[in-house]
Amino acid sequence: MVELITGLQADAVRANLERVRSEIAAAGREPGEVEILAAVKYVPIEELGVLAEAGLELLGENRAQDLVEKAEAYPGAFTWDFIGHLQSRKVRQILPHVRYIESVASDSALGQLRRHGDAATEIMIEVNVAGEAGKSGIAPAELPGYIERSPVRVVGLMTMPPFARNPEDSRRHFAALRELAQEHGLPQLSMGTSQDYLVAVEEGATIVRLGTSLYGPVRG
């Protein structure tokens, strides 16, 4: 059983946030070009106020019901993206609360978006650029068809490369996603987590999804 992240301290989270921003700048990107999304799957509702105090503005949740509960508990405090596996029956539930759904990868989800989305609805398509068996995301070759069939605006792409202890092993997958996005004129790239976000930043990420890098001990 995964432990919830509790006992967060605003000063420590703020220091980690500033370190990440400095690292992004050192990687050759303007900090404003890369959004830092705090993944809060394991952060309880009562801890979210600490994240606001620390200066975090963009949160991502993997579970639809938890996203709704957390967003309603802190109305207007955060911008929310949905970053988990999207069940088509949950689309209607989360739409009022999210900026982007970052993980659209099924025709059933597109069907629900056709029923419940509107002109303001924006999504990102999850692409399995590594062709990893059992991993969610569409194949790169399927992307043109998904964009064409989407009833709402597609603003970018998201990927989760295979787990690798060496962040450099993820570079080719991030580069492949960037090339796909450029080919289709999509401005947003959500890629990179705590273990490999700097490589993702170097390859053009516009959103990085961080957890332990923000919540762990302050690093020098």
Are 60 and 211 in contact by the 8 Å Cβ rule? The answer is: no
Q: Both tokens of residue 4?
A: 């919830």
Query: Could you list the pLDDT tens digit for every one of the 220 residues in the chain?
Result: 568 999 999 999 999 999 999 999 999 998 789 999 999 999 999 999 999 999 999 999 999 999 999 999 999 999 999 999 998 899 999 999 999 999 999 999 999 999 999 999 999 999 999 999 888 999 999 999 999 999 999 999 999 999 889 999 999 999 999 999 999 999 999 999 999 999 999 999 999 999 999 998 887 6
Are 125 and 147 in contact by the 8 Å Cβ rule? The answer is: yes
Tens digit of each residue's pLDDT (9 = 90 or more) over 113-163? 999 999 999 999 999 999 998 889 999 999 999 999 999 999 999 999 998
pLDDT value at position 2?
67
Name the class of domain 10-98+162-215.
alpha beta
Q: Does residue 78 sit in helix, strand or coil?
A: coil
Say whether pTM exceeds 0.85. yes
| DSSP H helices in 27-170 | 48-54, 64-73, 91-94, 107-116, 143-149
Among candidate residues 37, 69, 71, the one with its CA nearest the CA of residue 158? 37
Whole-number mean pLDDT of the chain?
Answer: 95
Q: Give the C-alpha separation, 183 to 193, whole Å.
A: 24
